[in-house]
C-alpha cells in the first residue's frame, strides 16, 4: 500500500462551549468516562452493553422487552433485541402525543415554486394514522411491500411512516428512476402497492412521475393499488379500481372500522428494503428492521452531528437514497425538526439553498462536495446576501472531498467558524462507519474517526492494521444498524462483505489515518488506480486538478496498461470562460507532474461538459471507466444525468 500524504494543517478547532454543550461530551462524561477514546474503546469491546445502553439513551420504547440486546453466535447474521416487540412509529410519533412535544414542528417544507408548509408532531401523527388506516382499508397488511416513488413533499414523510405503522415494508424508489429500474425493485420485493404523484417540479418543468409509474406497474403483476398525490397539476390517466387519489385514501381511513393502533411488530421484523446499485448484476436489496436502521441513524445524528430537539436539519437528498429515510427516522427519534425541499437546489438561482437556510432557520445543513464545487463558480456574492447565523454545522457524505471546495465552504460560507461534519458509511451500514464530531479538530476532508459502536480499522492485504498508509476499511465487530443481509440473496451478501477476512466486514473503501489520528476516505477500493505497483485513490488526482482555477470537477480512472499495469485517465469539466483547451492540457499536465510526480502523469486527459452522477451528486467513476473501456456500465438506474455517458463517448471520438 502507498504511503499516505493528505489533509494538511488543522483548519477548525472546537471552542470550549461547543465541546461542553455537545451531546457526545455530555453523554460519555455522564457515563463516567474521562475521554472520548475511553468511551470509544468501551463501545466496541462490549457491543451488547453499548447498544443496550444506546436504546435506553435514545428512549427507544418496547411493547415487550427484549431478553438480550444481541445474540452474536453468528457474527454475519446476529440477532438484535432478542424477543422484543416494538414499532419504530411509536417511538417517532405516538409517544409524543399528550406531551409538550406534540406542538413542536416536525416538518418544514418548501417547494421549488416557493410554496411552504409545516406539520407539528401532532399533525404528523394524525395524518400518518389516516393514511395507515386507508392502507388497511385497501387490504394491505403487515409484511406487504409498498413502494414510494414520490417528490420530496410532506406527504412522502407521511407515506413512509404510515407503511411502518401497519407493519408493512417500506420500499424507497429514487424519484429519478425510469420505469425499468423501478420495476426491477418492485418485482424483487413482490410489492403490493405504490405511492406516487401526478408529477414533480424540476427547474420549472414537470417531471411526469405517474406516467413512469404506470409503465413500471405494467411490468409488476403483484401491485394491486397505486396511490397518487396531486403535486404538479399534471394531466394523468387514473386506472379505475387500481388508482386512488391521496384524499381518497384519507377518506377510506376515516371510514375504517378496524383497529387504528400502531402494529405491534417484533423488533427484528422487516421495516425497509432499500436497493443499492452494483457494478454487475441486479441491484442489491439491503434488509433493515425496526430496531436497526432507525436507531443507528439516530445514534449517528446524536453523537456525530449533535442533533438536538431545537435543531432544524436539512439534508439535500431524495427518499430513494438512504439519507432520506435516515433524516426522517433519526430526526423524529431525537424530537428535532426536519426541513424538506422539493426542487433543484440551484434553481432559479445559485442562492436558493442559502436563502432557504435563512428563511427556515436551518441549523444543520447536509450537502455534497459536488454541490459545493458547482456553486463556487458563481463566486461569493450569492452567499453573502444572506444571514446564515442559524447554522451550527455543515455535514457531508457520498464522496471524498478535495481541499479547495472544503476550504471554500469552511471559510466563505461558514466564516471559518463552523465544523464540516464528514460522514461515510453506506446503505448496508444504516449510516456511518466514520464521522466528524463537535470535539475533534478538523483538517480539510478529514473524519474524527469511527463512530461509537463501530469497531473500524485500516488494514493491509493480509488484514493487519496499518497507520500512515493507505489500506482497506474494515469493521471487526457487528453493530445494531448492519443490514440483515441482501433480500433473497444471503450468499451475495456474504461474498460482498465477509469473504476477504474471517469474521471481518470489509467495506470496499480505501482509507488512511494520519499522524494526528484523523481518518480519510480515499474512494472505493474498486476505483483505486495501481500504476507500476503504486496505489493511489482517484481523490488524490482529482484534488490536484481542482487546484487549477479553470477546473470545476473531474473524474480519474485507471485503464489497463501493458507496461505499468494501469495508467491514469482523467475526464475534466471546465468552468465557463476557460482558456484554450490545448493550453489547459499543457498546464494541467504540468500541475499533475508537480503534485504527483512524472511517473503518475495521466495517459490521457479529456474535456467533457458533464460527468455521470447520482441525484446525491456522487460521480460514478465505475461508469466512466466502463464507457472508456467500451464495457457494459452495469446498473446505471441511479444516474440523474445519463446523457453524460454520451459526453464521454464524444470526447473519446475526437
Domain of 41, CATH number, reads 3.40.50.12780
Mean pLDDT of 130-142: 98
Q: Are residues 133 and 224 in the same domain?
A: yes
Largest CA distance in the chain: 75
CA nearest to 195, candidates 143, 231, 234:
231
The arithmetic mean of pLDDT across residues 28-50, rounded, is 98
Residues 156 and 50 in one domain: no
Distances in Å between the alpha carbon of 87 and those of 95, 131, 167, 645? Answer: 11, 17, 8, 43
Question: Cis omega before residue 348 (within 30°)?
Answer: yes
| 366 lies in the same domain as 509 | yes
Do 309 and 324 have their domain in common? Answer: yes
Residue 487 in domain: yes
| Crossing angle between the packed helical segments 323-333 and 154-165, to the nearest 10 degrees | 70
Reported as a pLDDT band with limits 50, 70 and 90, residue 539 is confident
CA distance 82 to 628: 49
pLDDT surpassing 90 at residue 577: no
CA torsion through residues 253, 254, 256, 258, sign = positive
Query: Lowest mean pLDDT: which of 133-137, 319-323, 522-526?
Result: 522-526
Give the model's pLDDT for residue 283: 82
Structural domains counted in the chain: 3
Is there a domain that residue 476 lies in?
A: yes
More confident residue, 396 or 631: 396
Same domain, 173 and 318: no
In this prediction, residue 588 has a pLDDT band, given cuts at 50, 70 and 90, of very high
pLDDT at residue 241, rounded to an integer: 96
Domain boundary pick from 495, 524, 553: 524
Which positions ≥6 away from 257 have C-beta within 8 Å? none
Mean pLDDT of 541-568: 87
- Rg for the chain (alpha carbons), in Å? 24
- Asked whether 452 and 40 are in contact (CB, 8 A), the reply is yes
Q: Is the pLDDT of residue 594 over 70?
A: yes
* pLDDT greater than 70 at residue 615: no
Tens digit of pLDDT for each residue in 222-257? 999 999 999 999 999 999 999 999 999 999 999 999
Q: 254: part of which helix (H) or strand (E)?
A: helix 246-255
- Taking phi over 0 as left and psi of -120 to 50 as alpha, with beta for the rest, 416 belongs to left
**Does residue 261 belong to any structural domain of this protein?**
no
Rounded Cα–Cα distance for residues 131 and 141 (Å)? 13
CA 362 to chain centroid, in Å, comes to 19
SS3 196: strand
Please identify, among 255, 285, 320, the residue that sits at the C-terminal boundary of a domain: 255
Beta-sheet strand order (sheet of 565-574): 551-561, 565-574, 604-608
One domain, residues 64 and 130: no
Averaged pLDDT of the chain: 93
What is the rounded CA–CA span in Å between residue 301 and residue 373? 25
Same domain, 520 and 550: no
pLDDT given for residue 2 in this prediction? 43
At residue 24, the pLDDT reads 98
Q: Where are the alpha helices (DSSP H) in 413-529?
A: 490-497
Q: Quickly count: other Cβ atoms within 10 Å of residue 100's Cβ.
A: 8
Average pLDDT over residues 327-339: 98
* Helix, strand, coil shares, percent, the chain, to 5: 35, 25, 40
Q: Assess whether 509 and 543 both reside in one domain.
A: no
Question: What is the signed CA dihedral for 312, 341, 638, 481, rounded to 10 degrees?
Answer: 20
Question: What is the CATH classification number for the domain harbouring 574?
Answer: 3.30.300.30
Same domain, 137 and 239: yes
Phi, psi dihedral angles at 442 (to 5 degrees): -120, 145
- Euclidean distance between CA atoms 500 and 297, whole angstroms: 27
pLDDT at 89 over 90: yes
User: Which CATH number does the domain housing residue 177 bear?
Assistant: 3.40.50.980
* 491-525 tens-digit pLDDT: 999 999 999 999 999 998 889 999 999 999 987 77
pLDDT of residue 458: 97
Is 7's pLDDT higher than 60? Answer: no
E strand segments, 58-192 = 68-71, 79-82, 105-111, 116-120, 145-148, 169-172
C-alpha cell at 565: 499495469
Report the SS3 class of residue 207: strand
Least confident of 299-303, 404-408, 564-568: 564-568
Q: Is residue 5 situated within a structural domain?
A: no
Chain centre distance of CA 620: 15
pLDDT tens string 448-458 = 999 999 999 99
Q: Which residue has the cell 414542528?
A: 105
- For residue 531, give the C-alpha cell: 500504476
Residues 518 and 534 in one domain: no
Q: CA-CA distance, 53 to 31, in Å (whole number)?
A: 10
The pLDDT value given to residue 8: 78
Whether 364 and 444 map to the same domain: the answer is yes
Q: Which of 524, 553, 570 is the last residue of a domain?
A: 524
Q: Position of cell 440486546? A: 69
In a domain, 218, yes or no: yes
Instruction: Examine residue 562 and state whether it is found in any structural domain, yes or no.
Output: yes
pLDDT at 635 over 60: yes
Residue 414 lies in a domain: yes
Provide the residue range defining the domain that includes 308: 16-93+270-524
**145 contacts 171 by C-beta, under 8 angstroms:** yes
CA–CA gap between residue 575 and residue 577 (Å, rounded): 7
Helices and strands in the chain: count of H runs, count of E runs: 21, 29
- Asked if residue 100 belongs to a domain, the reply is no
Give yes or no for residue 427 having a pLDDT over 90.
yes
Nearest-angstrom CA–CA distance, 77 and 454: 16
- Give yes or no: residues 591 and 508 share one domain: no
Do the beta carbons of residue 226 and residue 243 sit within 8 Å? yes
CA dihedral 242, 194, 199, 636 (to 10 degrees): -130
Amino acid at each position: 500500500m502507498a504511503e499516505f500524504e493528505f489533509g494538511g494543517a488543522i483548519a477548525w478547532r472546537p471552542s470550549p462551549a461547543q465541546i461542553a454543550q455537545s451531546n457526545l461530551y455530555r453523554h460519555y462524561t455522564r457515563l463516567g468516562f474521562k475521554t472520548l477514546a475511553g468511551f470509544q474503546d468501551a463501545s466496541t469491546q462490549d457491543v451488547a452493553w453499548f447498544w443496550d445502553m444506546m436504546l435506553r439513551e435514545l428512549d427507544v420504547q418496547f411493547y415487550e422487552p427484549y431478553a438480550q440486546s444481541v445474540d452474536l453466535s453468528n457474527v454475519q447474521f446476529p440477532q438484535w433485541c432478542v424477543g422484543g416487540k416494538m414499532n419504530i412509529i411509536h417511538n417517532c410519533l405516538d409517544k409524543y402525543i399528550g406531551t409538550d412535544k406534540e406542538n413542536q414542528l416536525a416538518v418544514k417544507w418548501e417547494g421549488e415554486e416557493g410554496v411552504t408548509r409545516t406539520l407539528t408532531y401532532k399533525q404528523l401523527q394524525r395524518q400518518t394514522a389516516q393514511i395507515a388506516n386507508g392502507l388497511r382499508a385497501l387490504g394491505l397488511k403487515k409484511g406487504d411491500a409498498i413502494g414510494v416513488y414520490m417528490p420530496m413533499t410532506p406527504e412522502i414523510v407521511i407515506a413512509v411512516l404510515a407503511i411502518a405503522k401497519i407493519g408493512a415494508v417500506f420500499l424507497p424508489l429514487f424519484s429519478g428512476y425510469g420505469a425499468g429500474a423501478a420495476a426491477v425493485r418492485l418485482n424483487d420485493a413482490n410489492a403490493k402497492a405504490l405511492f406516487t404523484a401526478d408529477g414533480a417540479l424540476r427547474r420549472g418543468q414537470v417531471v411526469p412521475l405517474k406516467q413512469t409509474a404506470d409503465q413500471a406497474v405494467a411490468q409488476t403483476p403483484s401491485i394491486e393499488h397505486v396511490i397518487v398525490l396531486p403535486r404538479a397539476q399534471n394531466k394523468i390517466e387514473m386506472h379505475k379500481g387500481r388508482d386512488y387519489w391521496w384524499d381518497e385514501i384519507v377518506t377510506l381511513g376515516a371510514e375504517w372500522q378496524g383497529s387504528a393502533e400502531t402494529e405491534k411488530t417484533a423488533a427484528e421484523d422487516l421495516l425497509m428494503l432499500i436497493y443499492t446499485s452494483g457494478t454487475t448484476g441486479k441491484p442489491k436489496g439491503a434488509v433493515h428492521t425496526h430496531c436497526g436502521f432507525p436507531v443507528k441513524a439516530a445514534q449517528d445524528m446524536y453523537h456525530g452531528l449533535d442533533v438536538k430537539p431545537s435543531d432544524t436539519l436539512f439534508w439535500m437528498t431524495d427518499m430513494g437514497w438512504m439519507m432520506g429515510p435516515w433524516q426522517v427516522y433519526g430526526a423524529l427519534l431525537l424530537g428535532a425538526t426536519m426541513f424538506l425541499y422539493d426542487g433543484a437546489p440551484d434553481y432559479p438561482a445559485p442562492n436558493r439553498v442559502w436563502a432557504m437556510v435563512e428563511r427556515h432557520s436551518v441549523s444543520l445543513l447536509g450537502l455534497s462536495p459536488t454541490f459545493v464545487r458547482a456553486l463556487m463558480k458563481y463566486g461569493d456574492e450569492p452567499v453573502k446576501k444572506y444571514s446564515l447565523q442559524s447554522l451550527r454545522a455543515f455535514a457531508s457524505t457520498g464522496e471524498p472531498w478535495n481541499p479547495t471546495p472544503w476550504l471554500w465552504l469552511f471559510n466563505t460560507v461558514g466564516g471559518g467558524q463552523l465544523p464540516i461534519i464528514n460522514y461515510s458509511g453506506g446503505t448496508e451500514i444504516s449510516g456511518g462507519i466514520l464521522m466528524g464530531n463537535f470535539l475533534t479538530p478538523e483538517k480539510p476532508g478529514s473524519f474524527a474517526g469511527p463512530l461509537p459502536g463501530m469497531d473500524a480499522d485500516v488494514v493491509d492485504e493480509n488484514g493487519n492494521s496499518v497507520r500512515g498508509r493507505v489500506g482497506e476499511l474494515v469493521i471487526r465487530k457487528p453493530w445494531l444498524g448492519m443490514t440483515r443481509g441482501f433480500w433473497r440473496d444471503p450468499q451475495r451478501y456474504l461474498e460482498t462483505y465477509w469473504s476477504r477476512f474471517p469474521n471481518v466486514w470489509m467495506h470496499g473503501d480505501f482509507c488512511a489515518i494520519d499522524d494526528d489520528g484523523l481518518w480519510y476516505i480515499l474512494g472505493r477500493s474498486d476505483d483505486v488506480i495501481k500504476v507500476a505497483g503504486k496505489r493511489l485513490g482517484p481523490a488524490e488526482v482529482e484534488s490536484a486538478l481542482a487546484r487549477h482555477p479553470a477546473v470545476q470537477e473531474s473524474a480519474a480512472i485507471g485503464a489497463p496498461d501493458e507496461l505499468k499495469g494501469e495508467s491514469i485517465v482523467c475526464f475534466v469539466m471546465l468552468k465557463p470562460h476557460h482558456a484554450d483547451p490545448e493550453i489547459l492540457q499543457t498546464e494541467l499536465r504540468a500541475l499533475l507532474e508537480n503534485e504527483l510526480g512524472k511517473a503518475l502523469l495521466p495517459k490521457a486527459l479529456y474535456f467533457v461538459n458533464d460527468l455521470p452522477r447520482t441525484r446525491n451528486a456522487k460521480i460514478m467513476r465505475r461508469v466512466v471507466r466502463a464507457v472508456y473501456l467500451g464495457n457494459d456500465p452495469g446498473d446505471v438506474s441511479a444516474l440523474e444525468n445519463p446523457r453524460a455517458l454520451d459526453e464521454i463517448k464524444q470526447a473519446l471520438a475526437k
